[in-house]
């Protein structure tokens, strides 16, 4: 690790040419790069462009024309050095909100920045849907960025992994401030990248304050150093540099890139910078920072430091410096004026692009043939669907915990896949659900189709940040520029004596998250047809597989062929009837079917049973048409009674079918308790067949 001390000088080599009795420098060398005068002035302009844009944005906010800004002031030197060191058409960029200098140097224009500042419809990053300083561009490899700190690290690992899988070693650049290194996902990302020696360039821009919290309260590294904190990763090349010094920054970034491209592993640069403005426009650093400390930081301004070098070496005069400042100021003002006049978003577009609107999923051929193969259990139907889709799509990758042969997944759903398709395409992940999801998102950014497995629904919650704030929002927040159609398979449900942590249902929680489709099949044929559809469509899918149905004889069905697809949002009337409608899914669907047949045999009652098959989208028409026919409805599900998805269905029925109802809309669900291990206690919490039978009968007799 390289650590700059106070006594070290920046290594600047120059060639001198005497001109009219004055020393005149034509070039300055940093590492192996010899900068010409034009290149040096370009660097100066980029740093000034960044600072001037910051100042303009703050002035606009004070005028009431905008609402938010986060400044890069004090970070410009290392950011411009990064931008000059990467190829944004090949490398991937995951900058954080303070990375203005990086994105400008990489090709984002000041006008594009202001389009987001003013929340304009033509903002290429988000169409006015995101706060300013949330970068994104399809013109270069700059995926849509978001507000949660640290989520970008795992996504950068995903793009790097995709690059390696494709036989390339394009760099994935990812940055943050020092405060974000307290996030677990940062450490997970460094772990994955270091273990697989992936081409990831981690840059931590340490300005010593995470809003108001000093680095001494954040980092446990020696001397509160982030680079020191990561000393345990043997393949990680670590550097600590003066990020206010452009020449040192550029030289050390090249060193890091050379190391990455050698295949030895990733690199982490801790760039010590200064924060010359408050954390954001909503903050006032004078409330928690000492005035003398701020004054000392002002003396380390990277732009003034760089300009002073150029002047000392005879490359720049004070007059030229003033002219360049004026030139940049005029440029920024003109860019702001043009952006301000751009069209605003239309209110009717506010709900567009939550899901794919290209018409692709509607163009697929669904249910071409009736399932007619040999009878198959549900877990094998899922396995066969994965085999068929992997054969069909060479860009499909499967990973998760324990999914390789010879384990083949804890329920054998992935058996044979890594043997047939090799561990290049089917591989084990670390035991870290956020890692699984974040890396999958990154891979999907590159055009791959990740299908991942979370072993139990109970353990999906470490991935929830990546799913709710990232996966679900990417299409919407990028205004349809980016898509990440990750399929997440997850085993759910009780009745297997799994106790509190192997029995949860999760569909109602995820149903509240716009942007993710949710499938919940109850039989083998539906599981295969829905999973194959999930593997082909362009939206994220949460695919819930009930453990209690994996090998149940009543969930068996004839196997569909390899082209059998089931559309999302199409329920199935499994049993027709006229006295009452039962709406259900999962294991509860089968309990409802058993109760319906018993009521018919014993009492002659006619019960219509609907299997909704997908939670999102919900087939409301099939439900409403049935309710209009029977005039009574009961919803039965395994999740808790309070806020289970049945409550949503009941509310919609009340809204749209009230005048057709001859009885209250009823629900049967689990008690509002956790699911215990003891079979006696579990049976007391989860809906029982007797309870379901009695509930349907009571409603018929109402």
The residues carrying an active-site annotation are: 502
3-state secondary structure 340-354: HCCCCCCHHHCCCCC
Strand partners, 176: 204
DSSP tag of 668: E
Torsion region of 50: left, alpha or beta (phi above 0 gives left; psi -120 to 50 gives alpha): alpha
Strand partners, 518: 542, 616
**Cβ(22)–Cβ(312) below 8 Å:** no
Long-range interactions of 345-349: CB distance < 8 A, separation 24+: 345/119, 345/120, 345/121, 345/127, 345/128, 345/129, 346/121, 349/121, 349/127
Q: Which residue has the tokens 């300083």?
A: 133
Structure tokens given for 500: 């509190």
Distance set, CA 174 to CA 99, 152, 168, 625 (Å): 10, 7, 18, 52
Torsion region of 49: left, alpha or beta (phi above 0 gives left; psi -120 to 50 gives alpha): alpha
DSSP tag of 296: H
**Cβ(376)–Cβ(551) below 8 Å:** no
Q: Which residue has the tokens 């799913």?
A: 467
DSSP tag of 584: E
Q: CA end-to-end span of the chain, whole Å? A: 77
Sign of CA dihedral 47, 52, 57, 61: positive
Task: Round to whole Å and give the CA distance between 608 and 631.
Answer: 11
Rg (C-alpha) for the chain, rounded Å, is: 30
Task: Round to whole Å and give the CA distance between 18 and 21.
Answer: 6
Task: Round to whole Å and give the CA distance between 592 and 611.
Answer: 10
Task: Round to whole Å and give the CA distance between 169 and 198.
Answer: 8
Task: Round to whole Å and give the CA distance between 159 and 86.
Answer: 15
Helix (H, G, I), strand (E, B) or coil at 442: helix
Structure tokens given for 62: 């004070």
Residue 340 has a CB neighbour count (10 Å cut-off) of: 15
């Amino acid at each position: 690790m390289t650590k700059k001390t106070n006594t070290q000088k920046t290594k600047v080599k120059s060639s001198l040419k005497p001109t009219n009795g004055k020393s005149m420098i034509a070039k300055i060398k940093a590492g192996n790069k010899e900068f010409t005068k034009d290149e040096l002035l370009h660097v100066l302009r980029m740093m000034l462009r960044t600072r001037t844009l910051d100042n303009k944005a703050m002035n606009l906010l004070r005028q009431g024309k905008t609402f938010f800004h986060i400044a890069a002031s004090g970070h410009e030197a290392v950011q411009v050095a990064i931008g000059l060191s990467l190829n944004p058409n090949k490398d991937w960029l995951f900058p954080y909100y303070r990375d203005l200098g990086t994105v400008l140097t990489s090709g984002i224009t000041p006008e594009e920045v202001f389009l987001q500042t003013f929340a304009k419809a033509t903002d290429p990053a988000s169409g006015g849907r995101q706060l300013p300083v949330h970068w994104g561009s399809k013109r270069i490899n700059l995926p849509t960025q978001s507000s949660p700190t640290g989520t970008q690290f795992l996504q950068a690992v995903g793009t790097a992994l995709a690059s390696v899988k494709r036989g390339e070693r394009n760099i994935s650049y990812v940055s943050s401030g020092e405060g974000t290194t307290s996030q677990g996902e940062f450490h997970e990302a460094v772990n994955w990248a270091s273990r697989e020696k992936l081409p990831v360039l981690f840059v931590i821009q340490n300005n010593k304050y995470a809003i108001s919290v000093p680095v001494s309260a954040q980092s446990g590294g020696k001397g509160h150093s982030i680079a020191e904190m990561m000393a345990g990763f043997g393949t990680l090349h670590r550097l600590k540099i003066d990020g206010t010094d452009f020449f040192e920054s550029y030289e050390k970034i090249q060193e890091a890139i050379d190391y990455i491209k050698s295949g030895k592993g990733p690199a982490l640069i801790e760039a010590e910078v200064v924060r010359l403005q408050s954390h954001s426009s909503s903050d006032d650093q004078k409330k928690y920072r000492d005035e003398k400390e701020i004054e000392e930081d002002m003396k380390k301004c990277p732009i003034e430091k760089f300009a002073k070098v150029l002047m000392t070496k005879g490359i720049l005069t004070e007059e030229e410096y003033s002219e360049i400042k004026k030139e940049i100021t005029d440029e920024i003002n003109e860019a702001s004026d043009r952006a301000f006049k751009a069209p605003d978003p239309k209110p009717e577009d506010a709900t567009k692009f939550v899901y794919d609107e290209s018409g692709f999923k509607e163009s697929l051929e669904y249910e071409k043939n009736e399932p007619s193969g040999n009878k198959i259990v549900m877990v094998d139907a899922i396995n066969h669907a994965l085999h068929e889709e992997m054969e069909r799509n060479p860009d499909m990758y499967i990973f998760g915990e324990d999914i390789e042969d010879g384990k083949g997944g804890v329920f054998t759903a992935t058996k044979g896949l890594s043997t047939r398709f090799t561990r290049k395409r089917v591989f084990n992940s670390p035991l870290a659900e956020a890692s699984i999801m974040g890396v999958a998102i990154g891979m999907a950014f590159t055009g791959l189709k990740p299908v991942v497995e979370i072993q139990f629904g109970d353990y999906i919650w470490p991935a929830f940040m990546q799913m709710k704030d990232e996966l679900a929002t990417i299409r919407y927040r990028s205004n349809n520029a980016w898509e990440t159609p990750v399929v997440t398979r997850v085993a759910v449900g009780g009745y297997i004596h799994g106790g509190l942590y192997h029995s949860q249902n999760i569909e109602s929680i995820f149903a509240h998250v716009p942007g993710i489709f949710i499938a919940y099949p109850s039989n083998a044929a539906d599981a295969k047809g829905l999973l194959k559809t999930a593997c082909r469509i362009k939206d994220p899918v949460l695919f819930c597989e009930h453990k209690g149905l994996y090998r149940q004889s009543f969930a068996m069905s004839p196997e569909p062929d390899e082209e059998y697809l089931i559309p999302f949002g199409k329920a199935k009337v499994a049993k027709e009837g006229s006295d009452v409608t039962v709406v259900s899914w999962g294991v509860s669907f089968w309990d409802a079917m058993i109760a319906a047949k018993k009521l018919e045999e014993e009492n002659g009652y006619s019960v219509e049973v609907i299997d909704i098959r997908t939670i999102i989208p919900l087939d409301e028409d099939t439900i409403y048409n049935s309710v209009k026919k029977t005039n009574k409805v009961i919803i039965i599900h395994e999740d808790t009674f309070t806020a289970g998805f049945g409550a949503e269905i009941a509310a919609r029925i009340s809204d749209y079918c009230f005048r057709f109802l001859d009885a209250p809309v009823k629900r049967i669900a689990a008690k509002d308790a956790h699911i215990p291990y003891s079979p006696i206690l579990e049976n007391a919490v989860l809906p029982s067949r007797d309870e379901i039978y009695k509930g349907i009968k009571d409603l018929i007799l109402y």
